[in-house]
Amino acid sequence: MDIVHQAGTVTAAQIRDRMAEPPTYSAVRSVLRILVNKGHLVSEQDGARYLYAPTVPASRARRSAMRHVVKTFFGGSVEGAVAALLDLEDTKLSPEERARIEALIERASREGR
């Protein structure tokens, strides 16, 4: 799903090519078929190949994934999740990024979140 969201529309072969340790082509196609059947992807025939695209926009999938991560790994604590992000060794915020984050926090506060 990560690869499909990054690419937008992609073939099974393109997905397999972008995987670090790809399974067989048949395995990729099987998983894609399952994801289509579950409604996570749509497929469209393009000549002899199929193109796959996500059914949910990346922005909505991102929110859903973040809710899941916060609930599962941080017991629902947004503070804990933010602290973990800031504690990453490679986290370097530019002054502009810091200002944007502060503005987001201020807006959330005004909205009662």
Taking 90 as the threshold, does the pLDDT of residue 73 lie above it?
yes
Residue pLDDT, tens place only, 14-33 = 999 999 999 999 999 999 99
Same domain, 50 and 17: yes
- For residues 57 and 10, what is the distance between their CA atoms, to the nearest angstrom? 15
Angle between helices 78-87 and 58-74 (to 10 degrees): 100
- For the full predicted model, state whether its pTM sits above 0.75: no
Same domain, 46 and 62: no
- For residues 45 and 76, what is the distance between their CA atoms, to the nearest angstrom? 42
Count up the domains in the chain and report the number.
2
What the block records as the tokens of 24 is 């067989």
The residue segments making up the domain with residue 23 are: 2-54
- For residues 50 and 32, what is the distance between their CA atoms, to the nearest angstrom? 10
So what's the pLDDT on residue 90?
83
